[in-house]
Structure 1
Amino acid sequence: MSLVSTKQLLEDAYQNHYAIGAFGAHNLEIMKAIIAGAEEMGSPVILQTTPGTIKYVGIEYMKAMAESAAKQAKVPVALHLDHGDSFDIVMKCLRAGYTSVMIDGSHLALEDNIALVKKVTEVAHLLDVPVEAELGTIGGVEDDLVVNEEEVVYTDPKMAEFFVKQTGIDSFAPAFGTAHGMYKKEPNLQFDLLKEINERVACPIVMHGASGIADDAVQKALDYGVSKVNFSTELKLIYAKELRQYFSEHSEEDDPRKYFVPGTEAVKALVKEKITVLQSKSKGLRYDYNNHTQSSIR
């Protein structure tokens, strides 16, 4: 089947207290590993690309690879723009055929953030493409953006409610203690804050910066509306680790059809582990491939 929208996927996850894994797809090998892991688990999956990844791969290459993967996959596959940093990049992704977009205006003043997100939402919804947006400041490193711990601003629940209503977004990414990249110390997740945000926004919530978060903490977040969980750094780390290990043992090898295999297998195994944590195993098998909607059978 073709690439699917994240809207129905996340709404079902939101209603049934599980989450869909959104995995950073930085090249063909990692993309294939993500799809393979999702297929073995029968789980829907979101291929996620940042503007940096798009710049590296090329937007047409990325869309073509994702479309080909989705047509062959036995589970629903969506293609999502993560942390779109301008109206222009979002429009390029929409024209290319992305099935989900995030516009990140969290660095702007509230009024400017709302204006930007609302502008994107109005266009995207004309194309039936769902929109994710962020309020507050999630720390860590994302592409070339670095947010230090002292710069982190947690999301205010009342402002979150106002933001979602004003913009009409389909999913919401709050700042409640997670960070991009790997953690140097145990993160202090604000579950009381997340609970209140969930009660106010009444839409699927997205957890950014899940790499390195303890499994039980991720699962606890599922009780408070988290329906999409982003993983990228862990995939890159394990892929690089396997490449280094392979070359340490096969220093003369020059065939990418051989040296990419251990990294690909490791990423696939990690994706399967995350799907287990997110409790989305077998959820993709209920998908109606003809109507592109979730079956009512539970």
Structure 2
Amino acid sequence: MLYTLKEIFNKYKDSAIASFNVYNLETIQAVANAAKLEDKPVIFAFGESYFRYANIEDIAFAVKRIVKELELDAVLHLDHAKKIESIRLALNNNFTSVMYDGSALILDENIRNTIVARNLSKDFGASLEAEIGYLNSEDGNEDYIISSKDFTDRNIAKEFSEKTSVDALAISVGNVHGIYKGTPSLDLQRIKEIYELVNIPLVLHGSSGIDEYQINMAIKNGIRKINVNTDLAVCAVGAMKERINKSNRPERLEKLLEIATREMQSVARKYIRMINSNN
């Protein structure tokens, strides 16, 4: 069944939850199958930036159908919404969790807008995630070099959480969207210190490519939601390209999509196992 983010955190108190971005039937099927095979909860995340590619009503319908069919414990989550109108649209389509991302704004404006989003989500009985600290753009195309000056400030995180009462807080601790330029290195101590100050579930965006040790230490220090997108997308494209390059005849699209779905399912299972390896 579908849960809010807060509800699923409460049900699975001793573990983090994997969140995968979905934007078509293949990504939804791959993530759902992975969660079923691993017998673990999962978060289906549909981003505001995907509105141009897929109809939110269709995505919501497909997720709700497969969650019921496979008897999953899941969350239907709106990712990186910068517009209140997008949050309202998601809530009207029965999303159980939404994220307002005002991290690019000055603090006071981020707080004001997040409170609006919080009140709206509360009216619908949904959970709210917000973000403090700078991460590069969600598509990962920005030529960004990680800098500690962009990391989440501990005291600002405390002020923000106290004034907004969000259910989860996304932070910047050396994580980035997209493919890392070099080896990822998380500020694990900062995660611990932020969690001790805010005492709410923390969220790690840009988890693709981070090694198992750092993922597990991040969870130990307060991360409860692990976001994965890039690795699923890269493996799907790679699998289709490999099939096309090896073939001596034109490939049928449905066969390529089948191959891509199978690869995404495999990668999603890997992350679910990694996240739950200490449970």
Q: Please state if 1:142 is matched with 2:138.
A: yes
Shift of 1:249: 2.6
The question of whether the paired residues in 2 share the 8 Å contact of 1:103 and 1:131 is answered with: yes
1:204-261: CA deviation from partner (whole Å, max 9, x where unpaired): 1100000011111101101111110000000000000011111123353453332212
Counterpart of 2:3?
4
1:61 partnered with 2:68: no
Counterpart code for 1:43: K
Q: Which amino acid aligns with 2:4?
A: S
Root mean square deviation, CA, Å: 1.9
Residue pair 2:140, 2:179 contacting (<8 A) in 1 also: no
Matched, 1:116 2:113: yes
| 1:222 equivalent in structure 2 | 219
Question: Are the structure 2 counterparts of residues 251 and 167 from structure 1 closer, same or farther at C-alpha, using a change threshold of 3 Å?
Answer: farther
1:296 aligned partner: none
Counterpart Cα distance in 2 of 1:105 and 1:116: 7
Distance 2:143 2:168 in 1: 22
Q: 1:111 to 1:147 in 2, by over 3 A?
A: farther
Distance in 1 separating the partners of 2:238 and 2:185:
28
Deviation at 1:48, TM superposition (A): 0.7
Given that residues 19 and 280 in structure 1 are in contact (C-alpha distance below 8 angstroms), is that contact kept between their aligned partners in structure 2? no
Quick one: distance in 2 between partners of 1:253 and 1:156?
53
Partner AA of 1:7 in structure 2 = K
1:81/1:211 CA distance change after superposition, 3 Å: same
Deviations 1:36-94 (A, max 9, x none): 01000001111111112232111111111111111112221211111001111111111
The AA in structure 1 aligned to 2:87 is V
SS in 2 for 1:194: helix
% same residue: 28
Contact map agreement 2:36 2:72 (CA 8 A) in 1: yes
* Cα separation, 1, equivalents of 2:140 and 2:150: 19
Give the gaps of 5 or more residues in structure 1: 284-298
2: distance between equivalents of 1:55 and 1:71?
A: 27
Deviation of 1:12 (Å): 4.0
Determine the C-alpha separation between the residues in 2 that align with 1:167 and 1:177: 24
TM alignment of 1:136-285, pairs within 5 A: 136-139=133-136, 141-143=137-139, 146=142, 148-149=144-145, 153-250=150-247, 252-279=249-276
Q: Do the aligned partners of 1:182 and 1:211 also contact (CA within 8 Å) in 2? A: yes
| Structure-1 separation of matches of 2:47 and 2:143 | 16
- Aligned pair count reads 278
Higher mean displacement: 254-263 or 143-152? 143-152
Q: Secondary structure at the match of 2:52?
A: helix
Structure 2: distance between partners of 1:167 and 1:98: 20
Separation in structure 1 between the aligned mates of residue 195 and residue 146 of structure 2, nearest angstrom: 25
Relative to structure 1, the CA distance from residue 211 to residue 150 in structure 2 (aligned partners, 3 Å threshold; closer, same or farther) is closer
CA distance, structure 2, for counterparts of residue 170 and residue 28 of structure 1: 29
Contact 1:90 1:120 in 2 (8 A): yes
Distance between the aligned counterparts of 2:9 and 2:142, measured in 1? 28
Stretches of structure 2 lacking an aligned partner (at least 5 in a row): none
Task: Please give the alpha-carbon distance, in whole angstroms, between the structure 2 residues aligned to 1:116 and 1:147.
Answer: 28
| Contact residue 43 and residue 280 of structure 1 kept, 8 A | no
Scaled by the length of structure 2, the TM-score of the pair is 0.94
Q: 1:23 maps to what in 2? A: 20
